């Protein structure tokens, strides 16, 4: 089906970007005060790119996504849930918890007018990327196979 072939194309393009951002995020030296801002920007870009991919997935399989701008967590909750006879769960609970934390961090960076970037807090986030990105990749790739099957 053409709709899913298009989604597959978008999926691959977006995944390349996410892999690149992940490498940049885990490589930032957080002991440097200036580089903490680079880290914050990259994490923000990472979540926005992931959210765009999740929105495309939701659009491909569901119709009701208009309220997602109000409560971004809703999209994560939705993708952590199987839609019987329509699509399997996209995100495992581990990936859901990881991305939820990254989403909260993005909110903090976007909305705090005068935020203090503490090395300890950022290191915790960076470590989460180091330990969870592979799980996220596994989840997305598994879902990609499902989309690939539909596109044939």
Partner 1 sequence: MDKQFDTNEAKKFQERNEAFEKDERENQRIATLSIVVESLKKLFLNTDVEVFLVGSITQPYMFYPHSDVDVVVKKFAGDRFDLWTQLETMIRRNVEIIIFENCHFQEHVLKTGYKVL
- The binding site for partner 1 (CB under 8 A) comprises 70-73, 97, 100-101, 103-105, 107-108, 111-112, 114, 116, 118, 121, 124-125
Contact 126, 39 (CB under 8 A): yes
Q: Which residue number, 8 or 97, has a Cβ lying nearer to partner 1?
A: 97
Angstrom CA distances, 51 to 8, 38, 59, 137, stand at: 16, 20, 12, 14
Chain position carrying tokens 């957080």:
30
Backbone Cα Rg of the chain: 16
Do 65 and 59 touch, CB atoms closer than 8 A? yes
Q: How far is the CB of 116 from partner 1 (least distance, A)?
A: 5
**Min CB(55)–partner 1 separation in Å:** 18
Q: Which is nearer to partner 1, 124 or 131 (CB)?
A: 124
Q: Which of 6, 112 has the CB closer to partner 1?
A: 112
Smallest gap, in angstroms, from Cβ of residue 69 to partner 1?
9
In this complex, which beta carbon is closest to partner 1, that of residue 4 or of residue 105? 105
Task: Evaluate whether 34 touches 83 at the Cβ level (below 8 Å).
Answer: no
């Amino acid at each position: 089906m053409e709709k899913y072939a298009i989604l597959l194309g978008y999926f691959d393009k977006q995944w390349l970007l996410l892999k690149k951002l992940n490498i940049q995020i885990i490589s930032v030296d957080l002991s440097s005060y200036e580089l903490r801002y680079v880290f914050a920007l990259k994490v923000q870009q990472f979540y926005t790119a992931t959210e765009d991919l999740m929105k495309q997935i939701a659009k491909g399989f569901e119709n009701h996504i208009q309220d997602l701008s109000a409560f971004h967590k809703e999209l994560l909750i939705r993708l952590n849930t199987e839609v019987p006879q329509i699509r399997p769960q996209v995100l495992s609970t581990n990936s859901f918890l990881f991305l939820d934390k990254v989403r909260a961090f993005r909110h903090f960076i976007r909305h705090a007018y005068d935020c203090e970037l503490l090395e300890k807090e950022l290191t915790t986030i960076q470590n989460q990327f180091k330990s969870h990105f592979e799980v996220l990749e596994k989840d997305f790739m598994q879902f990609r196979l499902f989309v690939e099957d539909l596109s044939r």
